[in-house]
Structure 1
């Protein structure tokens, strides 16, 4: 999965001080380091930092998206689906979160549940081949199982 986020949390640290038992820095440093780890192929390590950032700033959609991407990459599909669903509930027009939710559900074997978010994402961004391909795959799997 490729990131579509802005690359910066949508809320500030707002006075959060780092936990001495945790990683160095604050929320923004955890977030940026988590993104670097994710980009470098270390999804499981990214989950650790991004989960810490999400705990400190639970309303940040960009942190949640990065965490969901890392969870997906670490094959933690149920957790990824929960975080993508959180974003979609706040902003139903967030096509990338719909795509991530649909992919996560399909990896969990919930192909019926995956159809709607993937169809919505594909309808919102018809030029996105990844969205259309994922939707075709889920529909073909459902057809083959009938």
Structure 2
């Protein structure tokens, strides 16, 4: 799948379709990053969303989208850092707690993951994804003891 913009050839070294930066502004980068993420192009989404996050570092929406893209691109430590920053800003942000917990499980930190997943599951007990992730992290932690 090509991520080139209108009128931009995708012939740059390394496959970066935007060697001088993507066209448009922060909002366009964010929207295109979300589209790429939904289309399964997490690594391409990381590129655009990183630029958006650098331009708008206080935007929680951009940071969350970037963390999701980093997770999808298997950059779990970076995803954890971004989810953690959201949680530090708003400890009641259940989705960021969930994302942080999942990132920590992928990094092998099941003890830290259980803490965050348990908080997310307590905030949204009806969310089966949260409950399932918590059960998995607790089971893995127990099996390692």
TM-score, normalized by length of structure 1? Answer: 0.86
Q: Taking CA–CA contacts closer than 8 Å with sequence separation of 6 or more, which of the two structures ends up with the larger relative contact order?
A: 1
Whole-Å separation in 1 of the counterparts to 2:21 and 2:143: 48
Matched, 1:30 2:17: no
- Give the secondary-structure state (helix, strand or coil) at the position aligned to 1:126: coil
1:116 matched to which residue of 2?
Answer: 115
User: In 2, distance between residues paired with 1:27 and 1:134?
Assistant: 33
Q: Residue 5 of structure 1 corresponds to which residue in structure 2?
A: none
| Partners of 1:74 and 1:67 in 2: CA distance | 10
Deviation (angstroms), 1:35: 0.2
When normalised by structure 2's length, the TM-score is 0.86
**Structure 1: distance between partners of 2:56 and 2:116:** 26
Correspondence for 1:125: 124
Match of 1:141 in 2: 140
Question: How far apart are 1:21 and its partner, in Å?
Answer: 2.0
The alignment covers a number of residue pairs equal to 127
* Cα distance in structure 1, aligned partners of 2:37 and 2:126: 26
- Tell me the equivalent position of 1:48: 47
Q: Deviation of residue 84 (structure 1)? A: 0.1
CA-atom RMSD, angstroms? 0.9
CA distance in 2, matches of 1:132, 1:29: 35
- Structure 2: distance between partners of 1:139 and 1:82: 22
Structure 2 unaligned residues grouped into runs of 5+: 1-18
Residues 8-30 of structure 1: CA distance to partner in whole angstroms, max 9, x if unpaired? Answer: xxxxxxxxxxxx92100000000
Runs (5+) with no aligned partner, structure 1: 1-19
Q: Secondary structure at the match of 1:80?
A: helix
Runs of 4+ in 1 over 2 A off after TM superposition: none
Structure index of larger Rg: 2
The answer as to 2:71 corresponding to 1:72 is: yes
Q: Distance in 1 between matches of 2:99 and 2:142?
A: 22
Distance 1:116 1:144 in 2: 17
